[in-house]
Amino acid sequence: MDVTPGASSLPEESPDPRYKWRVLASVVIGLFMVILDSTVVNVALKTLQQHYAVSTDEAQWVISLYTLALGIATPLSGFLGDRFGVKRIYLGGLALFGVGSLLCGIAPTLPLLIIARAIQGIGGGIALPLGTALLFRAFPPQERGAAFGIFGIVLVFAPATGPLLGGWLVDHNLLSWIFFLNIPIAIVGLSIGLRFLQNTPGSAKARVDIPGIILAGVGFGAILYAASIAGEQGIGWGDTRVLASLIGGVVALALFTVIELRTTEPLLDLRLYGIPSFALANVAGLVGTIALFGAEFLLPLYLQILRGESAFQTGLILLPLAIASAFATVIAGRISDRIGPRVPIVVGFLLISYNTYQLSQIELNTSIGFIIFLLVLRGIAIGLIIQNSQLAALMDVPLPRLNRATPLVQATRQTMQSIGVAVLATILSSAVTIAIPRNIPSASDLAKLPPAVQATIQNELHQFQAQYITGLEHAYLATFAIAIAATLVSLFLPGWPGKYQPASQRGVAPVPEPETSEVG
């Protein structure tokens, strides 16, 4: 598909001026379900382990296979949308996610639950990038920041609500409803989409990139698998399985890159990196993903393991982050529409840098109020960054290439987020040389034990707490360095104080054409 230098970035015209808001409603409701499920299951992992009478490693596959399926399906979404129509494939992804949720809720065994979670992951991996493409295409350039700001509320509020909702359901013995709650959301999202989304016929000319599909599946899947097990206690990056998967994944993606650059209709259009704004925003987003989300799992661990908070209480403490982010993301989108994405993203990463350094200094007795203050700052920073970085990446992408651009952004960021979590988990666990003491007696029971036994138990507990705090410090300091790097990269994004014009006024950069003929 050729792209000319003057390719327009204007949205496809709709005779109904309200159409863009209907697209926004459909995407927000549909993708809320997909994003919510990324965290709502995490707090129920221990309960699932007990329910199915399996080990922690076996139960972990409920999360790991979902992540793998999500990462493998995402690159396919662009081709499927081009070939069969974006509306059809997007709604198909939502329907598949809803069916997978139903199967999860009624799964009688762990293997069947894991298979159902894979179905969810495939549906979510298809729907998420195409929903973003639908939203970007429906709004004119001068309103995209505001639209993505509203959509950003979902991106930050859904994962923050997950632990709160999941914790409440687990506490009330409603384990199956962790999955069943997706079904009414899926029905509403599908109903709105079927009623209001415009038909977008596919093209029989869209060629299937078989080598790309195979190599992308192997590459992203192997790296995500390595990251999912590397962070587990007692495994680490030196494990044979981790190294083999990591090396295999890197080799597969290297071959994938060579083939995609030589293919006229690639699965993921890597030539989009020839657009400066796309390349810069993606590099900033990839680096920033670790700073933004890689460290998000650390604080819940601190609150539950060291401070003794329940899953529900932890969700309540983390809720101000989502609320602050929801407000900030709307404002940040409007700022970006006026002066470009550079300033809000840079300010956001500066806030993340300050916030992360402060989190590296928390102790066992740090005030919960101060922690909530840091979470509010972090929420504001995330609101400034998360959608603006994606908008900056897509702002100069020609509309004919949009279906291939959003999966490229999503796939690379999902992979980087998984790697970041695994690396930080390794940093944390490497500082803890003793296991958390089991069967710790209550204060009254402890007082009944001989003094020597009391001293031994207390010494083990204090040692574990000190090592865990040290591990948190090291992990957050690593994240602080990454946030500084993301800040420096973001300085080169378009926007004020440089001259800035929206894409509607300045045209769109051409995408470099392949230098050789199609392979395969």
Which whole-number Å values give the CA distances from 206 to 47, 126, 324, in the listed order? Answer: 45, 17, 43
Together in a domain, 240 and 101: no
Together in a domain, 400 and 473: yes
Does residue 378 lie in a domain region?
Answer: yes
The pLDDT value recorded for residue 183 is 92
Give the count of alpha carbons within 13 A of 64, CB side only: 20
Give the count of alpha carbons within 13 A of 287, CB side only: 21
Which whole-number Å values give the CA distances from 138 to 130, 148, 243, 301, 510, in the listed order? Answer: 12, 11, 44, 40, 21
Q: pLDDT tens for residues 142-156?
A: 888 888 888 877 777
Q: pLDDT tens for residues 163-199?
A: 778 878 877 888 889 899 899 999 999 999 998 888 7
CA dihedral 255, 256, 260, 261 (to 10 degrees): -40
Does residue 23 lie in a domain region?
Answer: yes
Does residue 518 lie in a domain region?
Answer: no
Task: State the pTM of this model.
Answer: 0.78
Does residue 318 lie in a domain region?
Answer: yes
- Alpha-carbon gap, residue 226 to 513, rounded angstroms: 34
Together in a domain, 312 and 460: yes
Residue 82 identity: D
Q: Give me the domain span that covers residue 253.
A: 210-264
Together in a domain, 324 and 423: yes
Together in a domain, 101 and 131: yes
The pLDDT value recorded for residue 497 is 80
Going by C-alpha positions, the residue among 166, 193, 235 that lies closest to residue 19 is: 193
Pick the residue with more confidence: 518 or 242? 242
Answer whether residue 453 shows pLDDT above 80.
Answer: no
Number of domains comprising the chain: 3
Answer whether residue 3 shows pLDDT above 50.
Answer: no
Going by C-alpha positions, the residue among 221, 200, 287 that lies closest to residue 478 is: 287
Q: At what angle do helices 19-40 and 182-196 cross, to 10 degrees?
A: 160
Does residue 400 lie in a domain region?
Answer: yes
Mean pLDDT computed over every residue of the chain: 82
Q: pLDDT tens for residues 457-505?
A: 778 788 888 888 998 999 899 989 988 988 998 998 888 887 666 544 5
Does residue 195 lie in a domain region?
Answer: yes
Burial of 516 (0-12, 13-18, 19+ CB in 10 A): exposed
Answer whether residue 360 shows pLDDT above 50.
Answer: yes
344 in Cβ contact with 331 (< 8 Å): no
Together in a domain, 144 and 65: yes
- Report how far Cα 334 is from the mean position of its chain's Cα atoms: 23
- Alpha-carbon gap, residue 353 to 136, rounded angstroms: 30
14 in Cβ contact with 24 (< 8 Å): no
The pLDDT value recorded for residue 91 is 94
Does residue 41 lie in a domain region?
Answer: yes
Going by C-alpha positions, the residue among 34, 21, 23 that lies closest to residue 186 is: 34
Question: Confidence band (pLDDT; 50, 70, 90) for 2?
Answer: very low
Q: pLDDT tens for residues 59-115?
A: 778 877 887 888 888 888 988 988 888 899 999 999 999 999 999 999 999 899 999
By percentage, how much of the chain surpasses pLDDT 90?
21
- Alpha-carbon gap, residue 399 to 330, rounded angstroms: 24
Q: CB neighbours of 58 closer than 8 A, spacing ≥ 6?
A: 49, 52, 110
The string of DSSP codes covering 105-166 is HH--SHHHHHHHHHHHHHHHHHHHHHHHHHHHHHS-HHHHHHHHHHHHHHHHHHHHHHHHHH
Answer whether residue 280 shows pLDDT above 80.
Answer: yes
- Report how far Cα 62 is from the mean position of its chain's Cα atoms: 17
Together in a domain, 358 and 436: yes
User: Tokens standing for 345?
Assistant: 């993203």
**DSSP secondary-structure letter at 267?**
S
Together in a domain, 327 and 440: yes
Does residue 512 lie in a domain region?
Answer: no
What angle (nearest 5°) sits at the alpha carbon of residue 478, between those of residues 477 and 480?
60
Pick the residue with more confidence: 112 or 200? 112
E strands of 327-421, at which residues? none
User: Tokens standing for 78?
Assistant: 């662009």
Stretch 383-403: mean pLDDT = 85
- Alpha-carbon gap, residue 186 to 99, rounded angstroms: 9
CATH number at residue 293: 1.20.1250.20
For the chain, how big is the Rg over CA atoms in Å? 23
Together in a domain, 167 and 279: no
Together in a domain, 71 and 145: yes
Together in a domain, 27 and 80: yes
Together in a domain, 126 and 191: yes
- Alpha-carbon gap, residue 156 to 152, rounded angstroms: 6
